[in-house]
Amino acid sequence: MLSIKNLYVSVEGQEILKGINLEVKAGEVHAIMGPNGSGKSTLANVLAGKEEYEVTAGEITYFDEDLLEKSPEDRAKEGIFLSFQYPVEIPGVPMVNFLKTAVNEHRKHKGEKELTAGEFLKLMREKMDMVDMHPQLTNRSVNEGFSGGEKKKNEIFQMALLEPKLAVLDETDSGLDIDALKTVAHGVNMLKSNVNATIIVTHYQRLLDYIVPDFVHVLYNGKIVKSAGKNLLLSWRKKATTGLKKKTKIKNECYC
């Protein structure tokens, strides 16, 4: 599905990703871990098509097509979904308008009939239940006045509506209490299938207690320094207090 080869990325002339390689196949869940500032969000944003990140070398193919050529909106319509680490507030753009437009843009792209207002509301209610999102939130502007946790839930809610092929969850677990974390994990697990894939970006391990990845990669200083199956996590926990942690001076809860 996704193939990243020897990817180098700079922001404002500063090199951040330094030769990333990653293969993701349908049905897989990948976890990318690493300390703050190691380049995880950069990778996630490059996948979504953020323009300020400059790809200086390497390539990304998505379903055998050059991903880097495509606009953010085309990537989204072709099934890439980024759950933002910091979802932005957009005062004046009503949630319902935004969601309906997004859903219908996806449907048009797939050659499906656009949903009417009534059909959309029905779909929205269904998905809202699934992620336990408070109905009142859809009466507001996009993310406006949402708490940190509500913003993250809203990301998963959008994911549920758009049913992506490749979901990239950037620190969707941070700022969530245990209950919210469980709902988010539940949502992700529900949407998991053998035709889609998920990349979970995190620098905590908490979410991985609820979503079991097939592969774990450690990103450090712009490079993937270690990749392994899910067993890595277990062995890692033990070593967590020594090794990498010392070098990178990360706060307690972090296991990498």
Partner 1 sequence: MNVIVEKADLTLKYIAHYNDLKELLFKGSSDIINVRRKKAFQDFVSQGIPTRKNENYKYTNLHPQFAPDYKFVIQREETDANLTEIFKCNVPQINTHLNLLYNGWFYDKNVKSGVLPQGVILDSLENMAKNNPELLQKYYGNTAETESDALVALNTAFAKDGYFLFVPKNVIFEKPIQIINLLKSENDTFTTQRNLIIVEPGASAQLILCDHTLNSNRYFSNSVTEIFVEENANLDYYTVQNQHNNSASVNSVFIQQERNSNVTTHTVSLHGGFIRNNLKIKINGENAEANMFGMAFLDKSQHIDNATQVIHAKPHCQSNQIYKYVLDDKSTGAFSGRIHVARDAQKTNAFQRNNNLLLTDTATMQTKPQLIIDADDVKCSHGATVGQIDEEALFYLRARGIDEDKARMMMMNAFAHEVVQQIKVEALRERIDELIEKRLNGEIALCHECDYNCEC
Smallest CA-to-CA distance from 239 within 172, 38, 22, 247 is with 247
Answer yes or no whether residue 195 interacts with partner 1 by CB under 8 A. Answer: no
- Site membership for partner 1, residue 93 (CB under 8 A): yes
Stretch that binds partner 1, among 31-39, 42-50, 119-127, 208-216 (CB under 8 A): 42-50
Q: What are phi and psi of 159, to 5 degrees?
A: -60, -40
Amino acid at 253: E
Q: According to the binding rule CB under 6 A, does residue 145 interact with ligand ADP?
A: no
Token pair 């990301």 is found at: 155
Q: Could you say which of 46, 142, 188, 250 contacts partner 1 (CB under 8 A)?
A: 142
Q: Which is nearer to ligand ADP, 50 or 165 (CB)?
A: 50
* CA–CA gap between residue 232 and residue 242 (Å, rounded): 15
CB-wise, 44 or 224, nearer to partner 1?
Answer: 44
Q: Which is nearer to ligand ADP, 52 or 64 (CB)?
A: 52
Dihedral (CA of 67, 71, 72, 75) sign: negative
214 is in the binding site of which of partner 1, ligand ADP, Mg ion, none (Cβ under 5 to 8 A by kind)? none
> Is the backbone of residue 240 left (phi > 0), alpha (psi -120 to 50) or beta?
alpha
Residue 12 or 64 with smaller CB distance to ligand ADP: 12
Angle 46-98-131 from CA coordinates, rounded to 5°: 80
Residue 105 binds: one of partner 1, ligand ADP, Mg ion, none (C-beta under 5 to 8 A by kind): partner 1
CB under 5 to 8 A by kind: which of Mg ion, partner 1, ligand ADP, none does 82 bind? partner 1
- Rounded to 10 deg, the angle between the 117-130 and 148-162 helix axes is 120
- x/- map, 18-47, ligand ADP, by CB under 6 A: ----------------x-xxxxxxx-----
For 99, residues 6+ apart whose C-beta sits below 8 A from its C-beta are 120, 124, 138, 158, 161
The conformation of residue 211, written as its DSSP 8-state character, comes to S
Of these, 71, 116, 139, 147, which contacts partner 1 (CB under 8 A)?
Answer: 71
Alpha carbons 202 and 205: distance in angstroms, whole number: 7
Q: Which is nearer to partner 1, 15 or 89 (CB)?
A: 89
**Shorter beta-carbon distance to ligand ADP: residue 11 or 123:** 11
**What does the binding site for ligand ADP look like in residue numbers (CB under 6 A)?**
11-12, 16, 34, 36-42, 52
